[in-house]
Amino acid sequence: MTMTDSERQALLEPIDGDAMLADARAWSAINTGTANLDGLATLATMLADAFATLPGEVELVDPAPVTAVDADGREFEKPHGRHMVLRVRPDAERRLLFTGHMDTVFPKDHPFQEQVWLDDDTLNGPGLADMKGGIAVILHALRAFEGSDAAQRIGYNVMINADEETGSLSSAPLIERLAQGKYAALTYEPSALPDGTLAHARGGSGNYSLTVTGKSAHAGRNPQDGRNALVAAATLAVRLKDLQRDDIPVNPAKIDGGAANNVVPDHAVLRFNIRPKEPAAAERFEGELAALVGEVKQAQEVDIHVHGGVTRPPKPVDRTAQKLFDLVRDCGAMLGQEIGWQSTGGVCDGNNIAATGVPVVDTMGVRGGKIHSPDEFMIVPSLPERAALSALLLHRLATGDEL
């Protein structure tokens, strides 16, 4: 359906850049490091109130249980914040999914807590780009879209989770449920580059902890009776690096454990990350890891417990997903925005969505940069720019564009 200039102006006129900036700044002022449950609870309530201005029902959803391994090798349940979900017109024939995250990488005791203007268009602050500015884009794009007649033709869910920065382990089942049956999805991570370039295909990510249990002994009197867990962990680290291929980087990252110099250590925990570029690489690695663990257990007479796995599957871009990228580019052109894309090794909730078979573009948020550092910045004019891009894209999807 062709849109006239007057129709496009009417659609986009409600988008208020000043109001968007006020929202992003208010949300950034609240520390929401993934472990700061109080801060997350405060922001979740604020977001629920903000998104309640849209039609539909808002719910704060409890996190799914998640376990982790401590430095002593003990598995424990790790607490997480609640996730916000908005459901609008769930019975519509064509339904979409919008996702974002309220957590940041900055804990409540981190020195980076304040916002500073770098110039007239650039604001430095925690989580402004990644991704409280993106949440503002979702909210204001949907408010503008709801003012159009086309809005009644589609339904959608909005999910803002509280644990994306640590892998979305407590929200992954929720993401999977919400993605089922959706026509397309948009995730509001910041653009891959400050010029607005989108992330295209992505690799995957998996985190593992290998708990090694050996046998202690005196290092001088009877070392032969001991089974050195630290040596076994070090052996695993070296051998894991040997499993690296072009399609699956492997990064042994940390070993916890050890004992006094005169004691054969009976405990160690090795932590490592993998980045499979294709699903087949992840499957191959699982088999190779199992074989390696069995070999080291037998050779060094230790016990090894494996915790973890691939939590962000690789995200290739198939033909349907490419059509969605092309539509975003076309909408950008109508607004005078040049939209390109490039593949990236980073991961996000777009990986999880794509694994359900739903086409997704996962960097629809603000333009900015230097995320995950105290130099993080948001390009303020990109707030209304990206909201206009999303609103126009929604109108196109609601009025006949097919993927």
CATH of the domain at 89: 3.40.630.10
197 and 213 share a domain? no
Q: 186 has which bridge partners? A: 98, 361
Residue 336 lies in a domain: yes
Q: What is the pTM assigned to this prediction?
A: 0.95
pLDDT of residue 151: 97
Strands 198-202 and 341-344: parallel
Q: Does residue 83 sit in the same domain as residue 141?
A: yes
Same domain, 194 and 343: yes
């004691």: which residue's tokens? Answer: 263
Domain CATH number, residue 308: 3.30.70.360
Query: Position 115: which residue type?
Result: Q
Give the ranges where 226-337 is alpha helix by DSSP (H).
229-242, 279-300, 319-334
Co-location of 194 and 158 in the same domain: yes
Of 295, 312, 329, which marks where a domain is finished?
312
Handedness of CA 275, 280, 282, 288 (dihedral sign): negative
**Whole-number Cα distances in Å, 130 to 61, 101, 126, 291:** 22, 8, 8, 39
242 assigned to some structural domain: yes
Per-position pLDDT tens, the chain of length 403: 578 899 999 999 999 999 999 999 999 999 999 999 999 999 999 999 999 999 999 999 999 999 999 999 999 999 999 999 999 999 999 999 999 999 999 999 999 999 999 999 999 999 999 999 999 999 999 999 999 999 999 999 999 999 999 999 999 999 999 999 999 999 999 999 999 999 999 999 999 999 999 999 999 999 999 999 999 999 999 999 999 999 999 999 999 999 999 999 999 999 999 999 999 999 999 999 999 999 999 999 999 999 999 999 999 999 999 999 999 999 999 999 999 999 998 999 999 999 999 999 999 999 999 999 999 999 999 999 999 999 999 999 999 879 9
Q: Does residue 47 share a domain with residue 22?
A: yes
Strand bridging mode 122-124 / 205-213 = unpaired
pLDDT recorded at residue 2: 72
| Number of domains the chain contains | 2
Domain span at residue 255 reads 205-312
Residue 51 lies in a domain: yes
Q: Are residues 239 and 378 in the same domain?
A: no
Of 106, 96, 85, 117, give the one whose Cα is nearest residue 33. Answer: 106
Together in a domain, 46 and 159: yes
